Structure 1
Amino acid sequence: MYEKLAQQVADKLNRRSFLAKASLGLGSLALGSLLGPQKLLSNDDPGGILKAPHIPPKAKRIVYLFQSGGPSQLELFDYKPMLQKMHGQELPDSVRKGQRLTGMSAGQSALPMVGSPYQFAQHGKSGAWVSELMPYTSGVVDELCFIKSMYTEQINHDPALTFFQTGHQIAGRPSIGSWISYGLGSDNENLPAFIVLVSKNGQKDQPLFAKLWGNGFLPSKHQGVQLRAGSDPVLYLNNPEGYGTIDRRDMLNALTQLNQAQLEQVGDPEINNRIAQYEMAFRMQTSVPGVTDLSDEPDWVFDLYGEDSRDPGTFAANCLLARRLLERDVKFVQLYHQGWDQHGDLPKGITKQCKATDQASAALVKDLKQRGLLEDTLVIWGGEFGRTNYSQGKLTKDNYGRDHHPRCFTMWMAGAGIKPGISYGETDEFGYNIASNPVHVHDFQATLLHLAGIDHEKLFYQYQGRRFRLTDVEGRIVRDILS
C-alpha cells in the first residue's frame, strides 16, 4: 500500500518539480541516495551544522529570561542620587544632546527628571547596588554580572524586541535559539534544542509574536517550540481520541515513505526537516509529559521559587520548568514575561512586575548552582531597552511614568564563563548616557555565541546570494566580563 501511495506522489509531480529536480543536478541526488534520510537524521548526530564547536564551550545550555516591555533600570539596578537631588527639574540640554525622543514624549513642553522613590543599598561582597524592589535578586548579586551600559538603536517595542532576538529590527531573520540549534544541534534526542515559555501572568501591554522564536530562513526544524500550561503543552501533539501509539507509528512510517519518495524526485532538503519534525513530535509524546509534570518536585523547591510556582504557566512555574528542561540538556530555553512598559503609573506597575519575577529569577540561579549546573549554564535577564530619566506626562507627588530609552540600560548575566559579582560599564550621573564601556546588542549576541562555543563571524547561512549571521556585519566579544 505504501509503495502505491509513493508512486502516486511521483506520478503527480508537475513541471516545476521536474525543473527543480533538474536544477539540483545528479550530485545532490546521489548524496541523498547514498546517505538516505535516516542516516541524515541519525541519533548519533546532534543535528547541528558544526561538526564541533569553533572553540571549547563554556555554556552547554542557555536560559534567557526576557523581560518584555523595557524594565526601568533607574528603579532596579542603576542607582542615581543626582536624580534625587534634581527631582522635578528640567533635563539639561547638555545631557540630552538633541537625542531622539519617541512620539509619546517629543511633544511635551517639559521633561522633568525623576528620582526613584525606592531605596537602594549595596549587597554581597561585590557591593552591587540593588533596589528594595528586588530583595531576592539582592541575595544572589555575587553570582551576577550586571551590564549597565547596554544600548540599542531601536526606540520602539516591536523593532527593539526583534533586534534583540534576531539581530535585525525587521522580521524574517532567525532567532538566537534557532542559530544555536542550527550550529550545535541538540543534546537530547527526545526534546527540541530550542524551547519557549511565555508567562500567563504578565500584563499583555505589548504583544509577542512567534517570529521572535522563529527559524527565519534556516531549516524549519530549528524553530522554537512553545510549551504551554495545561493538559496540552504542545499544540496538536496528543493523539486524537481512539488513536493509539501503534496507530501513530504506522501513520508516520507511511508518511516517511511518501516524503522519501518526494525527496528522491525533487531533492528539497526541507523534506528531511519535515520528517525530523514528525519524528521529534512522536518522541515528545512521551518526553514532554514527564518534564512538564511538576508533581515530583518537593515542597522546598516550590518554596524556593515562590507560591506562584505551583500555578502552571506563571513566570515562577516557567522558571522551575526551565530548570527541568536544562537538567535534560535542552540547549536553549527562552522565557518571555510581558508587562514592563510603564509609561504611566510606574510605581504600581513595576512593583507588581517585581513581585511576579524577582523571587523566581533568583531562585533559578540558586537552584542551578546547588545542582552543579550553573558552572556550565548561562543565565540572562533583561529587556529590549531601558526607560528615560524624565517623566512621561505629568509628574505628581505619588505618580509618574518613564518613556522608552535605548541609549543606556541594564541587563545581568550569570553562570558559564561569566565573571561573578561584577558590574560592567556605567552611565553618567543623570542615567541618560553611557559613561564607559558601551555594549551594543550585537556585542551581547557575539558574546553569547562565544560562550556557547561559536565564533559569531563563522556561523552563517547563505540566503538569496548573501551570507547572513546573527550579528549581521557587527559585534565584538565583551571579553572583560568573561572568566
Structure 2
Amino acid sequence: MLNRRQTLKSTAAGFGYLAFSGLTSIAAEREAAVSKNPLAPKPSHFPAHAKRVIFLCMQGGPSHVDTFDYKPLLARDHGKEGKYGGRLLKSPFEFNQHGDSGLWISDLFPHVAEHADDLCLIRSMQCDQPVHTGAMTQMHTGTAQFIRPSLGAWTLYGLGSENESLPGFISLSPPPSSERNFGSSFLPAIYGGTKVGRSGGRGMQFGGNNSQETVPDIRSTRLTKLQQRKQLDFIQSLNRGKLKRDDHAPGIEGVIESYELAFRMQDEMPEMMDLSGESDRTLSMYGVNNPATANFGKQCLLARRFAEAGVRFIEVTHGNWDQHVRLTADHGERAEGCDQPIAALLQDLKQRDMLKDTLVVWGGEFGRTPAAQNGDGRNHNNKGYATWMAGGGVKGGFSYGNTDEHGYEAVEKTCHIHDWHATILHLMGLDHERLTYRYAGRDFRLTDVHGNVAKEIIA
C-alpha cells in the first residue's frame, strides 16, 4: 500500500507526464508526416488564418511616397532642402481616398485601389540594408550576411504541401542570380523553391490563349511511364545505398526526394501551366491579351492556379522599380504592367472564396527617398517604406504604422523585416520562435533572435 508521501509524489509526476505528452503529441505527429513524405501536410502550431501565401515581389524598391504612403506635406515643401540634403520632390502622382475605408492610394494603382477595403497597408517598414542585393536577401531570408533558408522554404518546412504532385514552393520568373532568395540553404533540399519561367520576369513562354505549343512538356519522349518507373527505382536504389553508407548526406536525400517529385510532376505540371482552358473573360480580366500586362498577367493567373491546386507558397517577381532617374515615366510603366493583374488576382481569389485563407503580400526590398535625385528620381530608403497584405486573416481597409511627415523613416509602430516575417508565419499558424531547425550545433530560425508579430493587423 502507498503512503501519503508516495501517493503525492506519483500523482505529481503523473501531471508532469500528462503535460509532456500533450507537448510532444504535435511534434510526434509532425515527425511522422515528415518520415512518410517530407512534403506531406503538417499540423500548424495553432489554428491558422491562411493556408497559403502569394508573394508579389516588386524588385528594385518601389517608392512608397508615390504609391501607398500619402505625404501631403511633401507636396507643400516641394523644392525645400531635405533632411539629409537634396531638394524635396513632391509626388508626380495624385493620391485619393478609396473604398469605405478611405485608404489613400496614388493613381499609379487605379485597379488595385478598387480593392482598398481588402488591403492592409503597412506604412512603417524598415530593413537593415540600403543596397539592393543585401535588402532583397534580407527580405527573403532574414539576413544579408549569411546564406539562410528563404521565407518560402521555412513555410514549406513548417506546413508541408497540399499537393504531392507539384512543388510546395514555386518562384515564377525570379531575377537572375537570385537562387538564395528561394533556396533552402541548410534545410533539406526538397523545401527549396522550384523556379518556373525565364529569369527577370520577361518572355514567359507558357500559358498563352492559343499557345498550347509553348506549355512545357516534361514527359519523356523515349520511355513509357512504366519504363521510367523501373529506371528511377534502379537509380533510387543506388542513392539509398549511398545514403545508408553515409552518416549525413542531405544532398543525397534531396536528390531522392526531388526525383520522386519530378516523376509525379510530369503529369500534372503541364496541365497546370496550360492556360488555354481559361475563359476569355478570365484572360481579359488578368490582361493576358494586352501587351502591357500580358507577362505579369500570366504569372498572376498561374499563381492563382497553383494556389488552388494546393501549392503552399508562390512568389511572383515584377520589376525593375529602381528609378534613380525618370521616376515619373518608369514608375508609371511598371505600375501599368502589374496594376490590372494584381487587382484581377484579388478579385479572382475572392470570387472563388479563396482570399479569406490566401495571404497575398505585396512589397519591394525597400522604398525611396523623399528628396530628389538626378532631377526626376529618388535614391534608396531602407529606414521607412510601405508594403501591403490582403486576405489570409488581416484587417481589410486598414493602415498600420507611419513614417515621418516627409516619408524619410518609420516613426510609429515600426515594422522591421523580422516583424514582417514573424507576422506572415503567425498568419500561417506558425510560431516564429518555435519554427526551428538544428544545424551546426545550434537551432536556427527565420527571425534569428528578433521579431514581434504585428497583432494589430490581424482580423
Q: TM-score range by the shorter chain?
A: 0.7 to 0.9
Could you say which residue in structure 1 is the equivalent of 2:6?
none
Picking from 48, 67, 91, the partner of 1:57 is 48
AA at the equivalent of 1:442: H
> Is residue 2:446 matched to residue 1:455?
no
AA at the equivalent of 2:187: L
8 A Cα contact 2:93 2:107, kept in partner: yes
8 A Cα contact 2:293 2:336, kept in partner: no
Could you say which residue in structure 1 is the equivalent of 2:274?
293
Picking from 166, 183, 205, the partner of 1:214 is 183
The alpha-carbon deviation at position 432 of structure 1 amounts to 1.3
Could you say which residue in structure 2 is the equivalent of 1:21?
none
Picking from 153, 165, 180, the partner of 1:190 is 165
Instruction: Write out aligned runs for 1:231-380 (5 A).
Output: 238-239=218-219, 241-268=221-248, 270=250, 271-308=252-289, 314-380=295-361
Once residues 39 and 454 of structure 1 are traced to their aligned partners in structure 2, the CA distance between those partners, rounded to angstroms, is: 17
Could you say which residue in structure 2 is the equivalent of 1:9?
none
Once residues 41 and 277 of structure 1 are traced to their aligned partners in structure 2, the CA distance between those partners, rounded to angstroms, is: 15
Once residues 354 and 474 of structure 1 are traced to their aligned partners in structure 2, the CA distance between those partners, rounded to angstroms, is: 33
Could you say which residue in structure 1 is the equivalent of 2:415?
439
**Which consecutive residues of structure 2, in runs of 5 or more, have no partner in the other structure?**
1-31, 198-203, 207-212
The alpha-carbon deviation at position 267 of structure 1 amounts to 4.1
8 A Cα contact 2:287 2:294, kept in partner: no
CA offset digits 1:458-479 (Å, max 9, x no partner): 1111112221110011000000
8 A Cα contact 1:427 1:435, kept in partner: yes
- My pick for the range that moved more, 56-65 or 251-260, is 251-260
Picking from 96, 106, 115, the partner of 1:121 is 96
The alpha-carbon deviation at position 449 of structure 1 amounts to 0.5
CA offset digits 1:83-105 (Å, max 9, x no partner): 1121111114xxx4xxxxxxxxx
The alpha-carbon deviation at position 323 of structure 1 amounts to 0.2
RMSD between aligned residues:
2.3
> Is residue 2:89 matched to residue 1:89?
no
The alpha-carbon deviation at position 312 of structure 1 amounts to 11
Picking from 58, 63, 70, the partner of 2:61 is 70
**Which consecutive residues of structure 1, in runs of 5 or more, have no partner in the other structure?**
1-37, 97-109
The alpha-carbon deviation at position 268 of structure 1 amounts to 3.4
AA at the equivalent of 2:184: N
8 A Cα contact 2:40 2:164, kept in partner: no
The alpha-carbon deviation at position 241 of structure 1 amounts to 4.2
Q: TM (normalized to structure 1)? A: 0.82
SS at match of 2:226: helix
SS at match of 1:230: coil
8 A Cα contact 2:129 2:135, kept in partner: yes
Could you say which residue in structure 2 is the equivalent of 1:7?
none
8 A Cα contact 1:308 1:314, kept in partner: no
The alpha-carbon deviation at position 41 of structure 1 amounts to 5.9
Identity of aligned residues (%): 42
AA at the equivalent of 2:323: Q
AA at the equivalent of 2:433: E
Could you say which residue in structure 2 is the equivalent of 1:11?
none
The alpha-carbon deviation at position 158 of structure 1 amounts to 0.3
8 A Cα contact 1:41 1:47, kept in partner: no
AA at the equivalent of 2:91: S
The alpha-carbon deviation at position 306 of structure 1 amounts to 1.2
> Is residue 2:142 matched to residue 1:180?
no
Once residues 121 and 356 of structure 1 are traced to their aligned partners in structure 2, the CA distance between those partners, rounded to angstroms, is: 21
8 A Cα contact 1:407 1:432, kept in partner: yes
The alpha-carbon deviation at position 433 of structure 1 amounts to 2.3
SS at match of 2:44: coil
Once residues 197 and 170 of structure 1 are traced to their aligned partners in structure 2, the CA distance between those partners, rounded to angstroms, is: 25
CA offset digits 1:138-168 (Å, max 9, x no partner): 1000001000011111100000000010000
- My pick for the range that moved more, 418-427 or 253-262, is 253-262
The alpha-carbon deviation at position 434 of structure 1 amounts to 2.1
